[in-house]
Amino acid sequence: MMRKVFAGVLLGAVIASSPIAMAEGKKAKISPELFSFNVTHDGETVEVMRNQDPENKISELYNTTFRGMPQAMNPFAPHEVETLGEREFTAYMIDAQEDESIMIVDTRTEGWHFRLTIPGSVNYPFTLMKEKEDMEDALDDFGVAIDGENYDFDGAKTLVMFCNGYWCGQTPTMGRALLAAGYPEEKLKYYRGGMQAWTSLGLTVVGEAAE
């Protein structure tokens, strides 16, 4: 009898410690008070949350570690551009839904953006900074008033930028070009972890490669 009781207790302990049982009744949160939130992406409402499947795997686009050299925490020095973690970044995502002065900007080239991106983001590839006309078109969208050779940044929007990950140079390249044009450093934000950090946390993605 004791053996049966002991075996039952042991089996119960194994079940209770399994990933599925551990996840049951718990939620993978974004922050202590935040489980999910909604954003608008291409005219549709998307709920942003962490994948609740304990067996979920990182996207194949970002599951390799043999990448480029990691970016500095502030690759824009001597300018002081704020570097964001996920909790700060998602706070900006939420604010951007009501505040038109905030833009979540995917600085990667179009192919990357359409394959997989963060909901609520808009795509302004870093390559737009190469030609003055393209850069000025982007600046106009960013709220910068252009008068000939003069740029007025009084109405410039806060750009919360990201690219592929810690090793990706696309956001640093775009940010440096914007700073060189006179964009206020306090209105530029850098989510350094980018897509690799975002997908590693199982956060919601959209695009052709989204499951």
pLDDT in the model for residue 26: 81
pLDDT in tens, 112-170: 999 999 999 999 999 999 999 999 999 999 999 999 999 999 999 999 999 999 999 99
Whole-number Å distance between alpha carbons of 149 and 147: 6
Cα of 143 vs its chain's centroid, Å: 22
Whole-number Å distance between alpha carbons of 60 and 56: 12
CB 200 within 8 A of CB 168: no
Q: Pick 145 or 3 by higher pLDDT.
A: 145
Which residue in 117, 89, 98 sits closest to 30, CA to CA? 89
* Domain residue spans of the chain: 36-200
The whole-model pTM stands at: 0.88
CATH class of 36-200: alpha beta
- Backbone torsion region of residue 130, taken as left when φ is above 0, otherwise alpha when ψ lies between -120 and 50, otherwise beta: alpha
pLDDT in tens, 50-85: 999 999 999 999 999 999 999 999 999 999 999 999
- Give the count of beta carbons closer than 10 Å to the beta carbon of residue 102: 19
List helix spans (H) across 29-123: 86-96, 110-115
